[in-house]
Amino acid sequence: MRDNHYYSDGGHVSFEEDCENELTKHGGYRRVRDLLSAKKVVDTLLEELRVKITKPSQTRPLLRLVKTPDKLQEVVAIAAKEKPFPTAADFALAVQKVVPKNTLPTRTSSTKQEKVKTQLCNTVTVSSLSHPRYGDSGVIEADAPNHWQQIVTFADGERLLVNNVDLDAASVPFPREQTYPPEYTEAIAQIKEQHQQELERLSQELRIGLQAEATGRAEAQLLEQIQSLQQLYKQQREQNIQLQQRLDEMEGLRKLEIENQQLQQRIQELEHAVEQRPSQEWGNTMTQQVTKALNKQVKQALEQTIDLRSLAQEPPKENAQECLRLMGMALKNLASAMNNTQALEAAAIILGSEPTPIAIAYRAEQLEMLPQAVSDIRQVLAKPGCTWQDYWAVAQEYEVIKQDYWAELTTHETELITALQNASSQPDTIGIGSIVAHADPYRTLYVERGEVVGDLGEELVVAWNCWKEQSKKTDRYFRDELRFWQPQ
């Protein structure tokens, strides 16, 4: 590309410009220059010494010896003798041994000696690590082409244009910044001032924007908090209304209980008065009979109400669990409304739980399931051919209240459940009345339910439920072809 000027096909003026524009991410022209220098070193070496160079960085200390091939071969041979595969540091040590840096060419004439002295005053060293001549010293023999670069001649005779930032020389002051003509100074100062004003304006707009954003966020948070407080106030108001309603209900129950007690006491007083002084209080027999009938009706009406003391002494014979649950819940509500510990303990005793509101509420929920549990279990037990699996499929849902619904069942029902359990725990032989399914899992009858209706000795006659609507309702099977049916 460089020698044949292929870079001009891409619209570039020089090879260096092409490398800087197209190979920026790979290091630009500096990287290409390093690779070209490394190739120059490798091409100068003998065939057997080229294999010692494995990286481009190893050629940097050898670059100044390209014009003296003999010394280059000697340096590589010395480094390879000490190590099979030398590093860049090993090559640098070998170069120092063969060609010390302090060695300068001898000058014979007086004019040349004066030039050498001038060069010694302008001696510089490459201090940039990225430069291929890092660590090498040279002299400045010509004027600088610009304000930020110098022409440096190294000890091996190579002349390079080096940036001031890559050089280190305490005796030679280099300008580090680019200078401009006087006519541009005022324009540059004006541009800098405009740039500074623009930066200040942007900073002020940024501060105003940040303040507005912070104010908006604060307003949004405040609005959200107000909405949450309003929602909380609404919920508390609804809860207060519900609590007030419950308190009114409890107060009404308490008043009804007091009136009930007063009426019962009045009835007893009236009956006692009638029995003790019938002739003094009542004028004739008709009046006495009407009074007794009236007292009897009032007594019957009062007997239908729930008297907590009578229920505590003797539970009702019909629907006892429901009455006890209602009485316990009434005592619980009364204890909550009046903060009465004794009423809470009484509710716990009636419901059979711990004397805490949570335990009593949980027990009441269990007792609410009792009527449904008794109804479901009785429906299962009433089915013909009921098995333990049928019963257990329903009873396991109400296992937590087993003692409660067990007490509601009749003796016949409890004995039937016990018999079903004993029959399921003992292995039985399939016979007439057994509920079976086919033993082959690849048959459709494996998941169907059937009943053995006939015993032919070696074979059994089975009536399948799925065949009720078909003309063929039964079929014969060997005993080992069947199994007891289990719900899926």
Segment 357-374 shows an average pLDDT of 81
Confidence label for 110 from pLDDT (cuts 50, 70 and 90)? very low
d(CA 274, CA 282): 8
Residue 450: the pLDDT is 93
Does the pLDDT of residue 334 top 90, yes or no? no
* Percentage of residues of the chain with pLDDT beyond 90: 7
Residue 104: pLDDT over 60: no
pLDDT of residue 311 exceeding 80, the answer is: no
pLDDT at 108: 39
Mean pLDDT over residues 122-148, rounded? 81
What are the C-alpha distances in Å from 173 to residues 52, 130, 168, 279?
40, 22, 9, 147
Label residue 226 by pLDDT band (50, 70, 90). Answer: very high
pLDDT score for 478: 92
Residue 242 or 283, more confident: 242
Residue 143 contacts by C-beta under 8 Å, 6 or more apart in sequence? 151
**Least reliable range by pLDDT among 319-323, 332-336, 347-351, 454-458:** 319-323
Which one-letter amino acid corresponds to residue 67? K
**How do residues 380-408 score in pLDDT, each as one tens digit?**
888 887 888 888 888 888 888 888 888 88
Question: By the 8 A CB rule, do 428 and 434 touch?
Answer: yes
Tokens of 253: 């129950």
**The pLDDT value given to residue 7:** 77
* Percent share of the chain, pLDDT over 70: 78
pLDDT at 296 over 80: no
Tell me if 422 sits within 8 A of 411, measured CB to CB.
Answer: no
> What length does the chain have?
488
CA angle 239, 243, 247 (to 5 degrees): 170
Ordered DSSP codes for 448-470: --EEEEEE-SSEEEEEEGGGTTS
Between residues 169 and 179, which one has the greater pLDDT?
A: 169
Measured between alpha carbons, how far is 398 from 467 in angstroms, rounded to an integer?
34
- For the cut 60, the answer to whether the pLDDT of residue 301 exceeds it is no
Q: Is the pLDDT of residue 112 over 50?
A: no
Share the mean pLDDT of the chain: 77
Q: What is the pLDDT of residue 451?
A: 92
Bigger pLDDT: 411 vs 120: 411
Q: What is the pLDDT of residue 438?
A: 92
**This prediction's pTM:** 0.27
**What's the pLDDT score for residue 116?**
39
pLDDT band at 106 (very low <50, low <70, confident <90, very high): very low
158-167, 330-339, 477-486: range with lowest mean pLDDT: 330-339
Domain limits, the chain: 6-168, 387-484
The answer to which of 229-238, 327-336, 457-466 has the lowest mean pLDDT is: 327-336
Please spell the DSSP secondary structure of 159-215, one letter per residue: EEEEEGGGEE-TTS----S----HHHHHHHHHHHHHHHHHHHHHHHHHHHHHHHHHH
Q: What is the mean pLDDT of residues 210-228?
A: 90
- Give the pLDDT of residue 113: 42
pLDDT surpassing 80 at residue 459: yes
Architecture of domain 387-484: Roll (2.30)
CA 427 to chain centre: 51
pLDDT band at 316 (very low <50, low <70, confident <90, very high): low
Count of Cβ atoms closer than 10 Å to residue 51 Cβ: 12
